[in-house]
Structure 1
Amino acid sequence: MTPLRQWLAEVASRTNVLTSKEIYPHYAGDFAGTHAIPDYLDDIAFEQTVAEIVRHHPITKLIHVTEDDILRCAQARDRYDLPGLRYIDALPWRDKYHMKRFVRWTGVPTPEFAAPSSIVDAEVFARRVGYPVVVKPRLGFASRGVKVVHDSAGLREAASAWDVDDVLIESYTPGFVYHVDGFMHDGKPLYVSVSRYLNDCMAFHDGLPLGSVQLDRDSENFQRVARFAEEVIPALPPVDFSPFHLEVFHTPDDELVFCEIACRLGGAHIMESLTYATGVNPAQLWIRHQAGLVDGRTVAVKDRGNRYGWLLVPPKTGVLTGIDEPTGYPFIKDFIVKAPIGKRFDGAHASTDSFVAFVVEGTDSADLERNIRFCSELSNTLGRWAT
């Protein structure tokens, strides 16, 4: 998905890449240095590796790509006085408590929320706003660790597992969810794509697929949600040219309510969908901009006509013994096998957990949704499982 040797060809001979031990073989030998961190989420190992690189090379830029890297790369830029996103500006884009405070200050509708220091604080909050409530990590992503709690007993059970320094509780917002993806610079959106989730990001708990449909640009909902994004983005600290990923609730009362936003590319197969829709790979453009190889603000990103979306099919409980690849469906742009045959699963643990995925095309939003729902039915026949 990220052929960095190709994307950074002009500077590969003076670029160091930090990656996980699993990905290391894909990049080894292509750069001035490739460094494997056994546990890529180990912040101390990351800091030590960066320090070792800085000790031997005159580093001028630090490029971040994933959600996990936003804050620790910002801290490294502070430490070594490197250009780019600094910690004080990055934090509200990453920490959902600070994020919601910034957005609420501007008057954008936001769920009630709190950062409880104890179960007592959480229970007081829940009694005030009413059950159900949502408990989530402040620094989480892909719906990992997110729980909808319906009563005091459930809240106490959730509290037994949470990290008091990384927990947010908020009022439950019913309805469906849009995600808004695009590019921004200095507090202003430059390009906006609006999509609607099919099912929702918690559907994996019930073993249901998560899908996404790009809305038609001339639709009322597209225009309305795009205007909402124009209110949210300037509420947070301005950043240099960057992708953004915004999620918005649409309630049964026809109100738009802020969920969360990130200063990075959305996950799942948003990258591929945007590439098909615009002809511009957003990950490639963002990485090359950070490397100083292109000014992303000058690149024309525009939709070319058709609508695109994706479907993530969660694994079942058992051993995956086979996968049949679908053929003869021209609207299936990509069919991605995401797990090796023989792997044992105990279901999905995050919204992005899947064993196969589809990237799908439609002539318009309605046609796209029909095609994705067809793929959802088709997926039931593709995987073979053993207990």
Structure 2
Amino acid sequence: MSEQHEPYILILGGEFPLRERVLAGALRAGNGLRVFTLAKARTSNTIKFFDGFIAGDVSDPEGVLSAVLLFEREHGARPAAVIPMNDFTVRSALEVSRHYGLNYNSAETVNRCRDKYLMKQVLAGAGLPVPRFGAFRTLDELKELAREFGMPVVIKPRELAGSVGVIKVTSFDALASAFEQCVADVKALNGAYMTPEDVFVVEEYISSRNEVSVEVFNQGDVHRVIAVTDKYLGPEPYFVETGHSVPSVHSDNEKLRDVAERACEALGIRYGIAHFEARITEAGEVRIIEVGARTGGDAIMDLVERSYGINPYQLHVASYLGIPVNLPEKLPSRGLAAISFLKAQEGVIAHVKSPKELPEIVVNMQITAKPLDVSEKPLSWRAREGSVEFFWKGREPEQRFSDHLRFAQRLSQEIFSVRQPGG
């Protein structure tokens, strides 16, 4: 008689902030399977809600596989599916899935979606609308490409996320300082995500403030848009996301939806939710920024769930489990869902004062900063001090919508008292 192993769902990156609803989605999709996560330590507030915990670094594929194999030897349990929740987990999920023969996107697809240069090559080869792009390692290579493209350009690391190291450069004279800052931003992570620190991509700047993300459900040859999100950015030359709202004013843009689905097909994404980002020019042209073979972060999945009544994480997990999913032709919106991020003034946070009351439109608030924390210049997601989530029942999306941004700005001023270093 063959040895029996208890199956479980392994979520990689599920303990990260603003991804907590993956637990509800996994429990629904798994139909009774236990749900485990993997993290470096037991200090995350969300780990206790999982059925089990495996110690490891989600960014280390070989280390994750070793930890899962050790867990199997000690507990007699094997994963039935390994679910990636962000860019830094997709290769680790691939390593474990390949060992156990589980459903997963191919290594070729994973590498294409992690490396922004390879990604753009594939998309351009499929005739999809991408800005001009090129790979570089040195300042001289960057200067040569910038002369070819013309200014302005955008430089970014090839394998990072969350706007880290992404900088707009408007003049040739500024290329050296921008490149220096990009390199410094990457090195400031201290190798935390095990990504290369010496490879970059430069792209033609897309002149538009209409930036969106598109969540695409993938199951085999089926690629289906389930939601479009409006994205709100801080001041250039950086591209820090200050908020999101669902539905988007571009939700019915058939060209956008078609490009997003074709991009997933071209990259070979066959499992789970993919996170597609693009800008839409004033002329109505769609220009692809990037595509991730994983769910979107920043609680975008929660916004989709509030607006449409469907948990994208459930679809994500079901796809990897091989459970057929039948989506309705149209997902009617229940209202407008949004998130905005709390940001203190730059300096040392002296006091944190939680508001006594919040209006009913606020459905969740998280304050992540504490006294003596340093509030940094907002160069990436790492400089946030918390988040506020909203829902307006029955409200339609609006051009130039900013209620959530203004509310979070006022709330930040009330919550955080800041002093200058040495003050």
- Same fold flag (TM > 0.5): yes
Residues 69-148 of structure 1: matches in 2 within 5 Å? 69-148=89-168
CA distance in 2, matches of 1:72, 1:220: 33
Alignment match, 2:326: 298
Which residue identity lines up with residue 116 of structure 2 in the other structure? Answer: K
Among residues 306, 321, 329, which one is paired with 2:351 in the alignment?
321
Query: Is 1:234 the equivalent of 2:265?
Result: yes
Return closer, same or farther for 1:101/1:320 CA change in 2, 3 Å cut-off. farther
Which residue identity lines up with residue 307 of structure 2 in the other structure? Answer: A
CA distance in 1, matches of 2:43, 2:374: 21
Q: Displacement of 1:18 after TM fit?
A: 1.6
Q: Displacement of 1:322 after TM fit?
A: 1.3
Query: Is 1:312 the equivalent of 2:344?
Result: no
Listed one character per residue, the Cα deviations across residues 164-199 of structure 1 (whole Å, up to 9, x for unaligned) are 653111111111211112423235433431222223
Alignment match, 2:71: 53
Q: Which runs of 5+ in 1 are unaligned?
A: none
SS at match of 1:115: strand
Alignment match, 1:183: 217
CA distance in 2, matches of 1:3, 1:108: 31
Alignment match, 2:404: 372
Q: State the superposition RMSD in angstroms.
A: 3.3
Alignment match, 1:170: 203
1:360–1:371 contact (8 Å) kept in structure 2: no
Q: Displacement of 1:299 after TM fit?
A: 5.3
Listed one character per residue, the Cα deviations across residues 276-312 of structure 1 (whole Å, up to 9, x for unaligned) are 01222222442355346xx251355823431222112
1:173–1:249 contact (8 Å) kept in structure 2: yes
* Identical amino acids, percent of aligned pairs: 17
CA distance in 2, matches of 1:298, 1:379: 41
Alignment match, 1:271: 301
Listed one character per residue, the Cα deviations across residues 70-105 of structure 1 (whole Å, up to 9, x for unaligned) are 122213333454332231222222221111111111
Return closer, same or farther for 1:225/1:53 CA change in 2, 3 Å cut-off. same
Return closer, same or farther for 1:107/1:285 CA change in 2, 3 Å cut-off. closer
Alignment match, 2:84: 64
Which residue identity lines up with residue 49 of structure 1 in the other structure? Answer: A
> Scaled by the length of structure 1, what TM-score is found?
0.83
Alignment match, 2:253: 222
CA distance in 2, matches of 1:83, 1:254: 37
Alignment match, 1:35: 54
Q: Displacement of 1:25 after TM fit?
A: 6.7
Which residue identity lines up with residue 53 of structure 2 in the other structure? Answer: T
CA distance in 1, matches of 2:176, 2:116: 22
CA distance in 2, matches of 1:50, 1:142: 28
Q: Displacement of 1:55 after TM fit?
A: 5.1
Greater shift in the superposed pair: 128-137 or 145-154: 145-154
SS at match of 1:78: helix
Alignment match, 2:32: 10
> Scaled by the length of structure 2, what TM-score is found?
0.77
Return closer, same or farther for 1:25/1:355 CA change in 2, 3 Å cut-off. closer
Q: Which runs of 5+ in 2 are unaligned?
A: 1-19, 187-195
Alignment match, 2:413: 381
Q: Displacement of 1:60 after TM fit?
A: 4.8
SS at match of 1:231: helix
Residues 324-335 of structure 1: matches in 2 within 5 Å? 324-325=354-355, 327-335=357-365
